[in-house]
Chains A and B, each alone.
Chain A
């Protein structure tokens, strides 16, 4: 039995007596049938009903476990009601919306009567039906934690042009969710670009829709495709080239460009023989040799450019495999790729792209991403940030986010930070994410029509990587 018990602040308290069983994250409807109105609540916390004598009973039960207790002549009816009373719970609920005369509203000032209302548990599908939203491209991201078998079907188009964040502790399942989304997008013809720092987005079977680019092997950038500002910026920001050296290389670049002999090789040669300060010459030569050793800049024109990989009539996922690359080369590769990608998007020569960036703070500073977030809608870029450190992303990015997927966090500081930057109230957030089992996440925002859902994500075996390599693997297999 469920009944409206009270209201404290923003929270409604619902009395739950057996056999009903409602869990955190479940939805309830309080209806006042005569007036055709109801409230949609979500359970954010569960507490035991405080009853007189509960402590004595619990102590008695604990004592009864130590000794032999036989019951005779007990009254089953009284016992049943007693069990119901002692097992009763108070469900702390938050209002998620109201239905007034058949119309759904996000908020309401109406407080229902305790006497005239009925309370019942409702499924997520019922909520979706009252909200009246249709999925243009339906896609299941997993099943509801509280409704096994009840798929969470979302509209894939809601990821289009949006900023999405996937957060979770190491091994919580965030990459698995990202891969599920990549697969769904590719299957529906979308183009995805994945900055894959752990080489885990390559598929286990051969598929022309999934392309893995290995820097230096099937990923090279033609020197001719790199503009002078980009080249100079790489030398300055990544290789810490001093201002005086920048001025020299800039002059040499212009001279070679005018003569029509600009190439990486000629640039290096010209510096070697130029009438410049020896210190500057050494500084420039050392950096160009370092750049050359990366193997990703070539004077030749590659058969297929990085951008050409996205030109396909079908869906495609291009993943940049960066495992084993030094921090500086990783930054270099990403800077060159992103420059080309953004140029192509800006010129309109490339269809909109879904970009998946794992641990984005490791290879680009936040101002770069913030700038991208500001321009993403005009560029045709949909962004996914995947990280295990909530504080690595700026507040600006959180504020601009459309959808957010949060896996389990138990650290109070992480939870406190997230409650400050997300739209969800801190009590709901704490109740939801600190109790989430493995592979389960809280999904909220545009993707779920702003209704927080607890989702058990689907396991995926299509991708190669992502598994933890263990030294004591044989020992684990024994159990």
Chain B
């Protein structure tokens, strides 16, 4: 099997992405050996929020987070927090704080393991992490995609990792699975390869996406009926009547064209 492919070829295949700097392949495509990883605990963190509406002074926000711990393949524990009903002047501030708090909490709960987070810039929390826990943090960006979709046929079908730039990598975690963009605290391709082989060994992959992180999304998500319940609770218990965020486009053009 051809284990290394010159990633520079991709720039020729995808000139538009290369021009825009989306595709800045610094290294070679390195296959991941999924059999070599050691047994480690996996944890995942995700949070979600919904802006329920606003009154004259505040936004009303519903927040929820889910922490998922996985040990020995079948031992999965989910800790759900919330939903918390908050009033705030900004609509996103609390969500960000909660997300960081949860990552720090998980980092202190497990050691020598992998902590998966959803699309967060890890540089932001690097200084707050206590290194003695020796966890590897991986931020997985599931919404990442190239403008030119032919990229998927360019990459190999087997699990691989390739350095995009700095600490950002592109990887396929399972044969034929989706390609995901990952951020690590290190920019070393060797370390990325080691961490990802541990992840593949210790977590299930659903279409190339780690199941532990998928469970965190599932249990953190605030569903529309839960938002309705919160609005009802706000009205019935707190006697607060809120209006939904005004949508000028919908107001002017109607629900069909707005």
Give A contacts to B, CB under 8 Å: 51-54, 56-57, 59-60, 63-64, 67-75, 77-82, 84-86
A246 to B10, CA, bound (A): 107
| B224 touching A53, Cβ below 8 Å | yes
| A70 touching B78, Cβ below 8 Å | yes
**How does the 8 Å CB contact mask read for B60-99 relative to A, with 1 for contact and 0 for none?**
0010000000000000111111111100000000000000
Query: In whole Å, how far is A64's beta carbon from the nearest beta carbon of chain B?
Result: 8
A428 to B162, CA, bound (A): 65
Q: B229 is contacted by which of A64, A69, A82 (Cβ under 8 Å)?
A: A82
Show 30 residue pairs from A and B whose CB-CB distance is below 8 angstroms, ordered by the A residue: A51-B228, A52-B223, A52-B224, A52-B225, A53-B225, A53-B226, A56-B218, A56-B223, A57-B225, A63-B215, A67-B76, A67-B78, A68-B76, A68-B77, A70-B78, A70-B80, A72-B80, A75-B82, A77-B233, A78-B62, A78-B230, A78-B233, A79-B229, A81-B229, A81-B230, A81-B233, A81-B236, A82-B225, A85-B229, A85-B232
Give B contacts to A, CB under 8 Å: 62, 76-85, 215, 218-219, 221, 223-226, 228-230, 232-233, 236-237
Across the interface, which residues of B come within 8 angstroms of A74, CB to CB? 80-83
A68 to B69, CA, bound (A): 10
Query: In whole Å, how far is A80's beta carbon from the nearest beta carbon of chain B?
Result: 8
Which chain B residue has the least Cβ–Cβ distance from A77? B233
Across the interface, which residues of A come within 8 angstroms of B62, CB to CB? 78
- 5 further interface pairs, Cβ-Cβ under 8 Å (given A53-B223, A67-B78, A85-B225): A53-B226, A64-B219, A69-B219, A70-B78, A81-B229
Count of A-B contacts with CB under 8 A?
A: 82
Query: In whole Å, how far is A369's beta carbon from the nearest beta carbon of chain B?
Result: 57
| B223 touching A78, Cβ below 8 Å | no
Which chain A residue has the least Cβ–Cβ distance from B77? A68
Query: In whole Å, how far is B232's beta carbon from the nearest beta carbon of chain A?
Result: 5
Which chain A residue has the least Cβ–Cβ distance from B218? A60
A51 to B228, CA, bound (A): 10
Across the interface, which residues of B come within 8 angstroms of A79, CB to CB? 229
Across the interface, which residues of A come within 8 angstroms of B215, CB to CB? 63, 67
- A77 with B219, Cβ < 8 A, contacts A70-B77, A86-B225 known: no
A56 to B221, CA, bound (A): 9
Q: B226 is contacted by which of A69, A73, A77, A78 (Cβ under 8 Å)?
A: A78
Which chain B residue has the least Cβ–Cβ distance from A56? B223
Q: A73 is contacted by which of B76, B82, B221, B223 (Cβ under 8 Å)?
A: B82
| B225 touching A54, Cβ below 8 Å | yes
Query: In whole Å, how far is B84's beta carbon from the nearest beta carbon of chain A?
Result: 7
A74 to B230, CA, bound (A): 12
A439 to B80, CA, bound (A): 47
Query: In whole Å, how far is B99's beta carbon from the nearest beta carbon of chain A?
Result: 15
Query: In whole Å, how far is A42's beta carbon from the nearest beta carbon of chain B?
Result: 29
Across the interface, which residues of B come within 8 angstroms of A77, CB to CB? 233, 236-237
A427 to B233, CA, bound (A): 38
Across the interface, which residues of B come within 8 angstroms of A72, CB to CB? 79-81
Across the interface, which residues of B come within 8 angstroms of A71, CB to CB? 80
Query: In whole Å, how far is B110's beta carbon from the nearest beta carbon of chain A?
Result: 16
- Give 3 nearest A-B pairs by CB, closest first: A53-B223, A81-B229, A52-B224
